[in-house]
Structure 1
Amino acid sequence: MYVTVYVTDQDRALAFYTDGLGLEKRIDHPGPDGLFLTVGVGDSPVQIILWSQAAGAGRPAGAPGPLILESDDLRKDVEIMRRRGVTFEESEPEEYPFGLRIEALEPDGNRVSLRQPRTP
């Protein structure tokens, strides 16, 4: 669903991806961990997060992993994944303005963000 590209200047990156490459701006949402800014192609469900390296410096808890997967029932999916041996950074999914999120660690230590959007 999401792929993260770390950038030094979100405005400059947005101009490059939209004006230069012709992608569409999808999400532009300020949050406690920085601006959540995405671009995408037409009707594709895949989006590129233009994440500020300044916001991601030191990888604070709120910085997204480079891969983000979406779930319709995150709590249920987390329990299934735990039974399969997946390790998570948090004990339970955390509430964010967009919905729920938890971070899984893959064998090389890379983070995979799992999220469930808030229902309107």
Structure 2
Amino acid sequence: MTSVYVDDEERAHAFYTDVLGFETRTRIDLGGALFITVGAPGQDVELLLEPGDSPIARQYTRGLREAGLPCIVFGVDDLRAEYERLRGLGVVFPQEPTEQGPILTAVLDDTVGNLVQLAQPLG
């Protein structure tokens, strides 16, 4: 399991499942807080949608965003097709598909405070 800080757990859950296509693995109401994990179908790794309201989390996510750095990278089989699918759903891409040596990358805004990179090996 790995985590990503998010501004709003409910919006993050909707984005990562309804838009990116992840599946809900865990959803527990802890009495005012939520513990939500999602994962790509067929993959064992889970992504914890971590509340980003602590001073450390806010500083970390703000620093990454100001530097234009993604908080996480997801591999995809066909980046250009995924880019078109996601754009059709209204996803904003600060970086369109770009060849970077042996990989093709794109960066999207996850709507909850983060930049996320998609990557596809070329060749």
Structure with greater helix percent? 2
Q: Normalized against structure 2, the TM-score is what?
A: 0.44
Q: Normalized against structure 1, the TM-score is what?
A: 0.45
